[in-house]
Amino acid sequence: MKIIEGTISSPKGFHADGLHCGLKKKKKDIGWIVSDVVANAAAVYTTNQVKAAPISITRKAIEHGQTLQAILVNSAVANACTGEQGIKDAESCQKMAAEKLGIEPNNVGIASTGVIGHLLPMKTLQNGIEALQVESGDSYGFHQAILTTDLVTKEITVETVVKGKTVTMSGVAKGSGMIHPNMATMLSFITTDAVISGELLQELLKTTVDATYNQITIDGDTSTNDMVIIMANGCAENEEILKGTPEYTAFVEMFHFVAQTLAKKVARDGEGATKLIEVSVKNGIDRESSRMIAKKVVGSSLVKSAIFGEDPNWGRIICAIGYAGPKIQPEVVDISLGDQEVLKNGQPVPFNESSMLSVLKQDTVCIEVDLKMGQAAGIAWGCDLTYKYVEINACYHT
């Protein structure tokens, strides 16, 4: 596997476009991904009981045949909490995109992100769909069109060889605030030209999301619109990837790398963030509890504030470990900030303040927790909590 320069349309047979249609004042706000052929597809969605209309439409589309050929995405308006009209509007967008592309409506997925409680301005959306292109589309424009409060686009493209055929996978994501996925406003789209079944994609997506996207948190809020979709159109013409084969192992590795890379980029671009926080828990009782503890630490407002202030207040870390839920033995726990050990067997360890400050000034601050209770591990990512986060969210609607 190697990383290459690319966009969401880098895998064979994919195209993308993104443009400004008027949902935002100036920035791009509508885009689509289109495959030359019907692609096998899989998706996971927010666990929030309040789900936006596009999720209902996309779920039905994929469940119709475990396939998609296009995904239409708009930003600025979430189309959430919009009742029956919201469903009708999402269906209308699906039909308009299908007509423009000459494909079946049930092969078009829909995703939206933005302000909750506003109806989509349908005439504006219609104009945008009519303006979108396929062959001559602006692929990187799609990366831009899905953003809300994000400061940067988030993308990754990799390729590997499967029995003599080059297989490419690209991923793009948006998400900056309201991020606490349990598949936040987090959207992620992955394309690949590999030959693999939709059923196997769905199985793999669920386990991959649990270890990557579901291990990030910005603010503890699970959005109404979260979804991750993968499309595999088979244009690489490799032998079908089957579970239990070396080719499957290579594909899993590639998929996990793409998902983890995007998840970390989302965490790093948290609203107002200045630092990425990575919490690694080792020697836990089991994987689930280790992940839970890691995510609880990285999600602690007190830990996040301390990292922003470059304050080595490890007491906040052990506190979060203690209330995370899983059973621990406090008297054996070790904690390190970067290469600076601060707790050994539940007891404070003196550290060099100058060296510690160097650790806390880095763009990525790593916290390692050794529970000494088993052999399982868990990892989670988040960001610091800054004044800017409050400013952004105090004025988000206005």
Please provide the DSSP assignment of 151-190 as one string.
Answer: SS-EEEEEEEEETTEEEEEEEEEE-SSS--------EEEE
Query: For 377-394, how does the pLDDT look when each residue is reduced to its tens digit (9 = 90+)?
Result: 999 998 888 877 677 767
Q: How many helices (H) and strands (E) does the chain have?
A: 11, 15
Helix (H, G, I), strand (E, B) or coil at 380: strand
Q: Report all structural domains of the chain as residue ranges with CATH numbers, in order of start.
A: 2-268 (3.60.70.12), 276-394 (3.10.20.340)
Query: For 268-303, how does the pLDDT look when each residue is reduced to its tens digit (9 = 90+)?
Result: 876 667 899 999 999 999 999 999 999 999 989 899
User: What is the C-alpha to C-alpha distance for residues 388 and 398, in angstroms, rounded to an integer?
Assistant: 16
pLDDT in tens, the chain (398 residues): 999 999 999 999 999 999 999 999 999 999 999 999 999 999 999 878 888 999 999 999 999 899 999 999 999 999 999 999 999 999 999 999 999 999 999 999 999 998 889 999 999 999 999 999 999 999 999 999 999 878 889 999 999 999 899 999 999 999 765 444 443 458 999 999 999 999 999 999 999 988 888 888 755 555 678 899 999 999 999 999 999 999 999 999 999 999 999 988 988 876 667 899 999 999 999 999 999 999 999 989 899 999 999 999 999 999 999 999 999 999 999 999 999 999 999 999 999 999 999 999 999 999 999 999 999 999 999 888 887 767 776 765 55
Across the chain, which distance is largest between two alpha carbons, in Å? Answer: 68
Burial of 63 (0-12, 13-18, 19+ CB in 10 A): exposed
Rg (CA), the chain: 22
Q: Which two tokens stand for residue 217?
A: 């948190």
Of residues 58, 67, 185, 261, which has the active-site annotation?
185
238: left (phi over 0), alpha (psi -120 to 50) or beta: beta
Q: Which neighbouring-strand residues pair with 175?
A: none
Give the β-pairing of 376-383 and 30-45: unpaired
Helix residue ranges, H only, the chain: 53-65, 83-101, 122-131, 139-145, 198-211, 246-268, 287-299, 301-308, 314-323, 353-360, 387-394
User: What is the C-alpha to C-alpha distance for residues 268 and 53, in angstroms, rounded to an integer?
Assistant: 28
Pair 394, 351: CB distance under 8 Å: no
Q: Which two tokens stand for residue 360?
A: 């806390």
User: What is the C-alpha to C-alpha distance for residues 291 and 279, in angstroms, rounded to an integer?
Assistant: 9
User: Does the active-site annotation cover 185?
Assistant: yes
pLDDT of residue 77: 94
Chain centre to alpha carbon of residue 266: 6
Pair 137, 17: CB distance under 8 Å: yes
pLDDT of residue 46: 84
Q: Which of 17, 89, 20 is nearest to 52 (CA)?
A: 89
Pair 172, 18: CB distance under 8 Å: no
State whether the Cα torsion 237-262-176-145 is positive or negative: negative
User: What is the C-alpha to C-alpha distance for residues 212 and 379, in angstroms, rounded to an integer?
Assistant: 9
Pair 107, 229: CB distance under 8 Å: no
**CB-based contacts of 386, cutoff 8 Å, min separation 6:** 272, 273, 274, 308
Averaged confidence pLDDT in the chain = 92
